[in-house]
Amino acid sequence: MPKYMGSPIKEFFNHLAPSYSKKYSEKYPFLQYFFTKRIQLATNNLDFSQKNILDIGAGTGALYNYLIKKESSFQYYACDISEAMLEESKIPSHQRYVGEVQQIQWPVESFDYIFALGLTSYLSPSQLEELILFCSKKLSPQGQLIISFTNKASLEISIRRWLHPIINRVFKRKNKVSSLPFSTSAYRIEEIQQAFMAKNLYYCNKKWLLPSIPFLHHLLPVFSIRISKFIDKKEYFRPYLALLSHEYLLSFQINGTKTKSPKN
């Protein structure tokens, strides 16, 4: 795996760290709702008492802040490539680790829960493969890996892909098109399934995250939240969630189901 030292991704988040927590504030209602909803869905109905928890890409500690309000009798470990992001968190210093997760000497042999929320978009295919390999080795026999992905099959991602060459011609320079100084990754569920099953990790759950009309959250964030809640409640929208959801959450276990269609 390429080293993160001096990488655009690390530098980007180091620069963003002092203001990153503002994304969870009321100033950005859709982002606040999005991040909160993702954590709620990722942790719903899970028992964390006396469990070892690893948060990969912990950032400023949003998951830690959420869990500590509900349960305190767990062992929580956080890692991130950005030291500046971790320093902005409330995670105790002895529970924070800076660097690539597979190169860190962890104080425990395995983890009952491994979370990787909002991380995979910033990984190359080879980096994702190494992450999967790490999780297959470090997840306890009855543990769960909960991981989020940008949905390549969504309408919004498809439209962005179609418009990208046109916008490039208009602006002439790529760095005027995107606010990120690096490319990001999106995946279809089918390709993720194949990659994880190759390392003996199998589906146990699937959740679509914040279905909405493409690009509406940029224009009308509060209204977009209402639309998302409405779609979530209506059964007749279920066949279209794969098109309307920008992101999805998957849960894996070493001894999970080997079916091609995980539970919704």
Q: Where are the domains of the chain?
A: 8-253
Separation between Cα atoms, residue 64 and residue 78, nearest integer Å: 9
Separation between Cα atoms, residue 32 and residue 50, nearest integer Å: 29
| pLDDT given at position 146 | 97
| pLDDT given at position 213 | 92
- Cite the beta strand spans of the chain per DSSP E: 52-56, 75-80, 96-98, 111-116, 139-150, 202-211, 245-253
| pLDDT given at position 258 | 54
| pLDDT given at position 182 | 73
| pLDDT given at position 168 | 52
Which tens digit of pLDDT belongs to each residue from 90-105?
999 999 999 999 999 9
| pLDDT given at position 180 | 62
**Do 211 and 230 form a contact (C-beta atoms < 8 A)?**
no
From the list 180, 124, 113, 190, the residue with the least C-alpha distance to 147 is 113
Task: Tell me how far the alpha carbon of residue 97 is from its chain's centroid.
Answer: 18
Which residues pair with residue 209 across a beta bridge? 247
| pLDDT given at position 41 | 96
- Low-confidence stretches of the chain (pLDDT < 70) are 1-6, 164-181, 256-264
Positive or negative torsion for Cα 197, 199, 201, 206: negative
Quote helix, strand, coil % in the chain, to nearest 5.
45, 20, 35
Task: Name the CATH superfamily, with its identifier, for domain 8-253.
Answer: Vaccinia Virus protein VP39 (3.40.50.150)
Which tens digit of pLDDT belongs to each residue from 8-39?
888 889 988 988 887 777 888 998 999 999 99
| pLDDT given at position 163 | 78
